[in-house]
Amino acid sequence: MTTAPGPMTLAAWEQALERVTSAPDVLVIQVDPAWFTDPTWADVRDGLDLLLFRRTFGASGPFSLRRMMLYDPPSDTGGDATRYQRAVAEHGEWTRRVRRQLAACGAAGSAGKAMPAGQDYEVRQLILDRVGAAQPPPIPDGIWFGNAPGTATAAWATPGLIPLDPHEDQIIGPHRDRNPLWQGAFLD
């Protein structure tokens, strides 16, 4: 059974995808686990990945692409332990793909070429609160062009969102910023 992430239906997402290639201001929020647990929604997600990536190449004029996704899957995705393992693998592949796309198009934080002035593609990740913590305001999944509703813009401005680093997976060895040896170099 396919359930829609947020208030938008599958048909509404598919119609919205058609506008991604030309809208000057796009805000996408994808924090529902259905994006990496439901094959129907994974197909829409993959289509959006490709459209956003293509948008960054050869586009004329300014644009702002903003996207929010989960940092990691929630531990309770329902079902047995293998469902969670599949969700982790699917989410990891999605994150790696988006990270590679950011690096290839020259998004902020990329080494080498940069996107032209006035063109921006930024991805932020939401870290879920620990079990038992006060529930944050609901964050709606959706895709908006131009003026997004207050709940979506507030979600984008949520403290604690972390940018998706375009090169985190590509940096290896002792200089990787999450390597304990590299972190320890600054403790002296």
Residue listed under structure tokens 């006035």 = 118
Of 59, 57, 2, nearest to 33 by C-alpha is 2
Q: How many helices (H) and strands (E) does the chain have?
A: 6, 5
What angle is formed at CA 185 by the lines to CA 183 and CA 188, rounded to 5 degrees? 120
**Lowest mean pLDDT: which of 7-11, 42-46, 69-73, 177-181?**
177-181
Alpha carbons 92 and 152: distance in angstroms, whole number:
24
- SS3 of residue 108 by DSSP: coil
- Side chain identity at residue 188, one-letter code: D
In the prediction, which pLDDT does 168 show? 63
Look at residue 112 and tell me whether its pLDDT is greater than 50: yes
Reported as type and span, the H/E element at residue 103 is helix 81-105
> How do residues 135-183 score in pLDDT, each as one tens digit?
556 788 999 998 888 889 999 998 888 888 777 654 443 444 444 444 4
pTM over 0.75: yes
Residue listed under structure tokens 């979600």 = 155
- SS3 of residue 6 by DSSP: coil
Reported as type and span, the H/E element at residue 181 is helix 180-184
In the prediction, which pLDDT does 171 show? 43
- SS3 of residue 146 by DSSP: coil
In the prediction, which pLDDT does 64 show? 94
> How do residues 90-100 score in pLDDT, each as one tens digit?
999 999 999 99
And the tokens for 157? Answer: 């401005």
Reported as type and span, the H/E element at residue 184 is helix 180-184
> How do residues 42-56 score in pLDDT, each as one tens digit?
999 999 999 999 998
In the prediction, which pLDDT does 147 show? 86
What are the φ and ψ backbone dihedral angles of 81, each rounded to 5 degrees? -65, -30
